[in-house]
Copies of this chain bind each other. A is one copy, B any other.
């Protein structure tokens, strides 16, 4: 979906060295759109165009390039120029980037980056993936408690250019402990009283996250408290960084993708679908599919143990797919519902008893509904297929089995995510295919047990 509208013009301006035109192109549009129009350019061309924007804008436009294009630029452009540029990138983004740049390039770049920035990069890249530390940025507005409003406003005016957000201003003491927060709104409202001290203006009860906390919990907190940024602290409450709302939206989207992939029965994949490596994707997909297939082999074992019943009444085998799919469908439905309720915090593992009672009633209601439909269909079976069995007997067996398996699928589907959660695993492992496979094998046993009891 590359936008090729301006590509010829851009290339012409580059060859003609049309500085005025390129400057106009860089500044006229929203940086995100500027980036879109540059998508078709090579890394060298894109870098050449960016030289016509001032550093601040260059960083912004670069930030809207695709991840792959960003890496290409860092890998191809002159090392010294790139090193200086990397020093100006937002701390959280450059760490994500450098992680994917070829190691030999990083090794060449690092000595060229200023000591302060290099330390910052090393510190941030030490945090494990998916933790608050790995998502945070170290650029935030910092105030001290004894500062008067007038000076604070002036200071923020100077810092503002480099900061990702000035919506919240964080108040720290001399040892960098987080003491409070002032909103930009609050500070601007207090403009008329320039001598009031920050400590008399600041909010002291803060919502913070620990640097080791999982990014999903961070996203939950930000959503619950409607924050536009959340401060990240260590165990001693030292102020380490902030996580801004745009990174939180990315986390929410990524986590939803991960959950969806698990629910669909595959190892979560963050790579872009069309760009991911074939073998990697095959491994992620084949892994789960093979496990499920091996588990599903037990359906053969289960069926084989009822071989005599099948030989006696052939019609029984014709209803096997219907019966077991009922369990699979009702199971995936319940599993999805509970997994999602867990994800958005509507239920917790401790609520298992309430969920069980609820799903027991629901499973019965659903089972009766499907059982009734099954009864009608089975009663319409042609007599020549049935042999010695009366159609009413068969209809009764089918409807009882469908109802029982539906109830069982609903219970298994609802309890498995809670059990996984309790065991400290991701509840999403109780995916639709997983539940369906489990219920397939047990469904066969339920069905033939009922059939044997009633018909043989």
Within 8 A of B (CB), among A424-456: 432-433, 436-437, 440, 444
Interface size class of A (residues with CB under 8 A): 35 or more
Q: Could you tell me if A260 and B257 are in contact, using CB atoms closer than 8 angstroms?
A: no
Kindly state the separation between the CA atoms of A64 and B265 in the bound complex, as whole angstroms.
36
A261 within 8 A of B: yes
A12 within 8 A of B: no
Neighbouring B residues of A355 by C-beta, 8 Å: 274
The interface bits of chain A over 214-234 (1 if a CB of B lies within 8 angstroms of the residue's CB, else 0) are: 000001001111111000000
A144 within 8 A of B: no
State whether A433 and B33 are in contact (beta carbons under 8 Å apart), knowing that A282-B362, A321-B440, A337-B273 are contacts in the complex: no
Q: Could you tell me if A265 and B336 are in contact, using CB atoms closer than 8 angstroms?
A: yes
Q: Could you tell me if B286 and A365 are in contact, using CB atoms closer than 8 angstroms?
A: yes
A91 within 8 A of B: no
Within the complex, what minimum Cβ distance (angstroms) separates A225 from chain B? Answer: 5
In this complex, what residue of B is CB-closest to A225?
B32
Q: Could you tell me if B257 and A340 are in contact, using CB atoms closer than 8 angstroms?
A: yes
Kindly state the separation between the CA atoms of A325 and B292 in the bound complex, as whole angstroms.
9
A160 within 8 A of B: yes
A203 within 8 A of B: yes
Neighbouring B residues of A253 by C-beta, 8 Å: 223, 252, 344
Most buried by B among A29, A206, A325: A325
State whether A157 and B192 are in contact (beta carbons under 8 Å apart), knowing that A167-B167, A265-B336 are contacts in the complex: yes
Kindly state the separation between the CA atoms of A314 and B311 in the bound complex, as whole angstroms.
7
Neighbouring B residues of A332 by C-beta, 8 Å: 264-265, 432-433
Q: Could you tell me if A264 and B432 are in contact, using CB atoms closer than 8 angstroms?
A: yes
Q: Could you tell me if A285 and B246 are in contact, using CB atoms closer than 8 angstroms?
A: no
Q: Could you tell me if B366 and A285 are in contact, using CB atoms closer than 8 angstroms?
A: yes
Within the complex, what minimum Cβ distance (angstroms) separates A430 from chain B? Answer: 11
Neighbouring B residues of A326 by C-beta, 8 Å: 289, 293, 296
Which of the segments A3-11, A15-23, A126-134, A370-378 contacts the partner chain?
Answer: A370-378
Kindly state the separation between the CA atoms of A345 and B222 in the bound complex, as whole angstroms.
24
Within the complex, what minimum Cβ distance (angstroms) separates A332 from chain B? Answer: 5
Q: Could you tell me if B256 and A252 are in contact, using CB atoms closer than 8 angstroms?
A: yes
Most buried by B among A153, A185, A321: A321
Q: Could you tell me if A293 and B370 are in contact, using CB atoms closer than 8 angstroms?
A: yes
State whether A225 and B156 are in contact (beta carbons under 8 Å apart), knowing that A263-B336, A281-B362, A330-B289 are contacts in the complex: no
A241 within 8 A of B: no
Within the complex, what minimum Cβ distance (angstroms) separates A63 from chain B? Answer: 8
A288 within 8 A of B: yes
Within the complex, what minimum Cβ distance (angstroms) separates A343 from chain B? Answer: 8
Neighbouring B residues of A222 by C-beta, 8 Å: 249
Kindly state the separation between the CA atoms of A324 and B436 in the bound complex, as whole angstroms.
12
Q: Could you tell me if B188 and A344 are in contact, using CB atoms closer than 8 angstroms?
A: no
Within the complex, what minimum Cβ distance (angstroms) separates A283 from chain B? Answer: 10
Kindly state the separation between the CA atoms of A257 and B257 in the bound complex, as whole angstroms.
11
Q: Could you tell me if A433 and B304 are in contact, using CB atoms closer than 8 angstroms?
A: no
Within 8 A of B (CB), among A158-210: 160-161, 163, 165-167, 184-186, 188-189, 191-192, 203, 205-207
A259 within 8 A of B: yes
Kindly state the separation between the CA atoms of A357 and B444 in the bound complex, as whole angstroms.
37
In this complex, what residue of B is CB-closest to A229?
B228
Within the complex, what minimum Cβ distance (angstroms) separates A355 from chain B? Answer: 8
Neighbouring B residues of A374 by C-beta, 8 Å: 293
A105 within 8 A of B: no
Q: Could you tell me if A325 and B184 are in contact, using CB atoms closer than 8 angstroms?
A: no
Q: Could you tell me if A317 and B321 are in contact, using CB atoms closer than 8 angstroms?
A: no
Within the complex, what minimum Cβ distance (angstroms) separates A384 from chain B? Answer: 9
User: What are the 9 A-B residue pairs with the smallest beta carbon separation, nearest first?
Assistant: A264-B336, A299-B321, A256-B256, A273-B341, A432-B432, A226-B246, A245-B245, A317-B317, A329-B433
* 19 examples of A-B residue contacts, CB within 8 angstroms: A29-B205, A30-B207, A154-B191, A156-B188, A157-B192, A160-B185, A161-B185, A165-B167, A248-B249, A253-B344, A266-B336, A282-B362, A282-B365, A285-B333, A289-B406, A299-B322, A300-B318, A307-B318, A332-B432
User: 12 more A-B contacts (CB under 8 A) besides A165-B167, A249-B249, A265-B329?
Assistant: A30-B207, A160-B189, A223-B246, A245-B245, A248-B249, A265-B336, A290-B373, A293-B373, A299-B321, A299-B322, A304-B385, A328-B436
